[in-house]
A and B are shown apart, each in its own frame.
Chain A
Amino acid sequence: DAKTTQPPSMDCAEGRAANLPCNHSTISGNEYVYWYRQIHSQGPQYIIHGLKNNETNEMASLIITEDRKSSTLILPHATLRDTAVYYCIVRVTMGNYGGSQGNLIFGKGTKLSVKP
C-alpha cells in the first residue's frame, strides 16, 4: 500500500480556505486517494476521493497533481465545525466486496484548527 505523509497540524482562519496537503509519492496506477475527517470523539466521516482528475462535492475539492504523487484537500470556506483530524489514505478500490483492497489504513493525519 502506498504510504502518505501529512503535516501533523495546521491552523486556518474562519471563513478562509483551508488547504490540506498530502504526499503519496509511491502511489500505484490503480490506487485512489481518499480523504476522511474525524471530529473529536466522533466516528470518521468520508469527505471525497479521486483517482487522477480533480473532484468536487458539497464538502470539499480534491486537487491531484498530474504525476499523482501529491494531492490537496480544499475546504473553500472553513468554519469552526471543520476543526478535526483529516486523514489522507491511498487504497485500491474494487467494484465488489471481496478482498482486502477496500480496507483503510489510517495514518496520523493532520489536526486542522479553525480559529475565529
Chain B
Amino acid sequence: DTEVTQTPKHLVMGMTNKKSLKCEQHMGHRAMYWYKQKAKKPPELMFVYSYEKLSINESVPSRFSPECPNSSLLNLHLHALQPEDSALYLCASRDVRGVQYFGAGTRLSVL
C-alpha cells in the first residue's frame, strides 16, 4: 500500500472559520510534509515532520498550524485565513530512499 489519504478533498471556508486538513499514511514512513500549490505553479514546501517532530517550518504564517499526533497522521489546522491562501494543499510522506508519496490534495477556497 503506497497510499497517502487526504481529507477533505474540497473545503470552502470563511476568513473567520477554523478548519483542519487531515493526512494519513500506513507505510511506516517517519517523515511527512505539507506543501502549498497555487494554480499553474509548482508545489512549495510548508512544513516537514521527522519522527513526529516539526523539523522545518518554511516561514509559514501562524494562521497555519501543523500537528503530528502519531507516526501515521498529520493535520494542518487553519484559522483566520485570507483569500490569497486559497490553493491546493498537498501532503506527502517519504521513505528511506528519499521517495515521496503524495496525497491527492485538498483544494481550499477562502471566501
Chain A residues in the interface with B (C-beta under 8 A): 32, 34, 36, 41-46, 49, 85, 87, 91-109
Contact = CB atoms under 8 A, between A and B. Distances in A.
Interface residues of B, number: 29
Contact of B51 (A36, A97, A108): A97
A115 B98 CA distance: 33
Contacts of B42: 85, 87, 106-109
Contacts of B44: 106
B55 A44 contact: no
A86 B69 CA distance: 33
Interface of B: 4, 29-31, 33, 42-45, 48, 50-51, 55-56, 88, 90, 92, 94, 96-105, 107
Nearest to B104: A43
A85 B107 CA distance: 19
Given A97-B51, A100-B48, A103-B33, A34 B99 contact: yes
Given A93-B98, A95-B96, A42 B51 contact: no
Contacts of A109: 42
A6 B60 CA distance: 28
B96 A104 contact: no
Contacts of A102: 31, 94, 98, 100
A43 B96 contact: no
B105 A42 contact: yes
A45 B102 contact: yes
A45 B48 CA distance: 19
A89 B16 CA distance: 38
A42 B101 CA distance: 12
Nearest to A105: B45
A108 B41 CA distance: 7
